[in-house]
Amino acid sequence: MKRLWLVFVAVAVLAVWAVPAFAQWGEETTGNNLRVRIGAFFPSKSISRDEANTWLAAGVDYVLQRDLAISEGYAADLGVSVDYYGSGDVYNIPVLVNYWGKVGSGLSYVAGVGIGFAKRPVSGDTKTGFAYTVGLGYDISMGQGSGVKLFIDARYIGLTGTGNEHNGFAVSLGARF
């Protein structure tokens, strides 16, 4: 439980620290490069659900390149993310490179690959494996122009090397700064 609070506090501190820095950029950047998400993770394996049916899901994304691909009604960004999915002593921390596609009317999708660092249920051993995610999202604008933008995100997260113990669905509410 202490680790859960530590992750939550770290995400909050990062957001508080980063928001003023992005605000100082003004017109020099397109803004909204930082994304912070918090929500619930639902593991797909029963051995993981024995730990808890719902785990904490938290993540931070950073856009490295905006408008990687642009066409009428479509745009895409490339970036990195660090997430935490866990309950008690069991967790997965995927570090991913992501491709975010944006389709008109606020719909978006994400696909990412990278490496995951996990602690397994029951055995308690730590593993490292190939991590991946695919998901859909919906943007909710708040304020004018490049103000804070909220989004809802639903993802499937997977990790190899743990017998699918860290695979499942996450639903999150996030903000772009």
> Domains in the chain: how many in total?
1
CATH number at residue 58: 2.40.160
**pLDDT given for residue 22 in this prediction:** 43
**pLDDT given for residue 27 in this prediction:** 35
**pLDDT given for residue 68 in this prediction:** 84
Range of the domain at 137: 2-176
**pLDDT given for residue 94 in this prediction:** 97
With b meaning 16 or more CB within 10 Å and e meaning fewer, what string describes 155-165? Answer: bebbbeebeeb
pTM score, two decimals?
0.78
How far apart are alpha carbons 38 and 44 in whole angstroms? 19
Query: Two tokens at 148?
Result: 């804070």
**Residue ranges in the chain whose pLDDT is less than 50:** 1, 13-14, 16-29
Residue owning tokens 């935490």: 84
**pLDDT given for residue 23 in this prediction:** 45
